[in-house]
Structure 1
Amino acid sequence: MRRLSGEKPVISRILRPSRRPSGRSSRVRRGAALAALCALTLAACGTERAGDEDTKSGRDDRVGAGSPTASRAGGGDGDSGDADSSDAEFLAFMELLTSLAEPCLKDVPVPEPPPEPEPDTAGPPTAPLPEPSLPDEPPPAGEPRDPESARKEVELSSVEKCDARIHTRRIMKALKDTADPTPGQVGDVLRGLGYIDERVHGPQRSGESVEFTLDLRVMGGQLCLSGSVTGTRTVVEPYGASEEVGCLDVRRSE
């Protein structure tokens, strides 16, 4: 059977590379990744064994420099490959945060599922149920939050405080041998540890030190880290930020 001269093969149309995904598609994929990682985190909470404590306590030191970013997806055609690489990088970052947080979740109680309702042995009601009454007026909408209130430092949970200690320890260990550091050197170290560019503010020179800020807020978390490196001393301080503002917008308490 002949095909028309202007008609392209069906297989070539099926295998044709797709165009660059829209912003909505990228957000959907990232939302799916967050949901999957959240489920993995909850599963890890419920299956934590006491005998694993010694193994997990040293996991943050065994995370090799550059290992999370080594799994970036290979390039495709043009912009489509860039979008896939960005999604793979973000997924690797989420996996890093989830794995580092596992030792902090071992003591978190797992909520029990609600009991199943007992089967109704009685027959259906003979009389129709009354219709619920509707309010005369809708309830008043809540007032918008004061922007200045949103910028206040918030208290970290016990899990986030534990998580902050793990991040602080691995960052200080990676930067301790950096003599006379430059912003470029500090940025390379942070990227090698798996912190992606969109969550790193700086690094930038401030006097004799190089300063940076990490945004580690995921799945409703509030953890931010502020770091300063001089070559002889590295200081990393955790603090909490509302999801309504950026980490740099928080007014830190003295």
Structure 2
Amino acid sequence: MTHTRPITAATSLFARQRHALTAVTLATLALTGCGSELSGRGAQGEPVGAVVSAASPAQSSPEQAAFEAMLDSYARDCPPADGTPLVPADEKPTGSAATVSLAPGETPPADLIEPGPVTGPAAELSARDWCTGNHHQQRTIEALLKVPAPTPAKVRTTLNRLGYTDEHIHGLSQDDTTTRFHLDLRENGGQLCLTGAAAGETTDATLCVASATGPFTVTTEEQP
């Protein structure tokens, strides 16, 4: 019994020292954290602003990147995107283009029929849009000709496989056995679009004109 009080006192003293050490440790950690915030450093030693900015830019999806690469591939052999019209509105055939080809012994007609003004998408699309549009027109028709009983769902799937993303497919609708749609093919300030009609053996597609900026809106088209 004579040794009970010294042991209890020692234990009490040890407990007080342990609590004091814990308090000092927590205070040190708190000061370290404050120092990190004040110096603008993150957990890995990188500037906080740099970490946020690295994650901030919206990355394009792989599908969108593939779509843009496809557009670029078809435009490589086409005129530059400088807005040059395919056929100037006031242009008329001159020189050899205006000469009537006659077979031996034929006489030229009394009244030559001059070609009328170019209208429709050909009058509004640039040379570049018209050139690239022909590539899209051909491959779209070829693919949709192979789709039996085309429905909006089948047409969308086929267009997706060709690389056209949902964001660029518009106006899918079914009229009896025909599924109609539009493709937004605008790039670099162009106005190219495609209007198509999937209908088995009579499938067709033509080039159209869309608004140069803003939401996709068809301004000129010729129904296939």
Matched-pair contact (CA < 8 Å) for 1:155–1:239: no
Which of 125, 131, 135 is the aligned partner of 1:166?
A: 135
User: Does 2:60 correspond to 1:11?
Assistant: no
* Larger Rg computed on CA atoms: 2
User: Does 2:175 correspond to 1:221?
Assistant: no
Write the mapping of 1:1-254 to structure 2, written as runs, cut at 5 A: 4-5=28-29, 7=33, 10-11=43-44, 25-26=57-58, 84=59, 86-105=60-79, 155-244=124-213, 246-252=215-221
How far the C-alpha of 1:155 sits from its partner, in A, is: 1.1
Alpha-carbon distance in structure 1 between the residues aligned to 2:55 and 2:187: 23
Alpha-carbon distance in structure 2 between the residues aligned to 1:191 and 1:162: 22
Matched-pair contact (CA < 8 Å) for 2:172–2:181: yes
Deviations 1:7-52 (A, max 9, x none): 4972287799859966xx44xxxxxxxxxxxxxxxxxxxxxxxxxx
Alpha-carbon distance in structure 1 between the residues aligned to 2:75 and 2:53: 37
2:209 corresponds to which letter in structure 1?
A: G
What are structure 1's unaligned runs of at least 5 residues? 27-83, 111-151
- For the residue of structure 1 that corresponds to 2:124, the secondary structure is coil
How far the C-alpha of 1:240 sits from its partner, in A, is: 2.0
**Identity within the alignment, %:** 30
Distance 1:14 1:191, change over 3 A: farther
Alpha-carbon distance in structure 2 between the residues aligned to 1:219 and 1:232: 34
Distance 1:95 1:251, change over 3 A: closer
TM-score (norm 2): 0.54
Alpha-carbon distance in structure 1 between the residues aligned to 2:178 and 2:194: 16
Alpha-carbon distance in structure 1 between the residues aligned to 2:151 and 2:132: 27
Alpha-carbon distance in structure 2 between the residues aligned to 1:237 and 1:18: 46
Alpha-carbon distance in structure 2 between the residues aligned to 1:166 and 1:253: 18
Alpha-carbon distance in structure 2 between the residues aligned to 1:243 and 1:211: 22
How far the C-alpha of 1:203 sits from its partner, in A, is: 2.2
Which structure ranks higher in relative contact order (CA pairs < 8 Å, sequence separation ≥ 6)?
A: 1
Alpha-carbon distance in structure 1 between the residues aligned to 2:71 and 2:81: 20
Alpha-carbon distance in structure 1 between the residues aligned to 2:149 and 2:81: 45
- For the residue of structure 2 that corresponds to 1:214, the secondary structure is strand
TM-score (norm 1): 0.49
How far the C-alpha of 1:163 sits from its partner, in A, is: 0.9
Alpha-carbon distance in structure 2 between the residues aligned to 1:157 and 1:104: 11
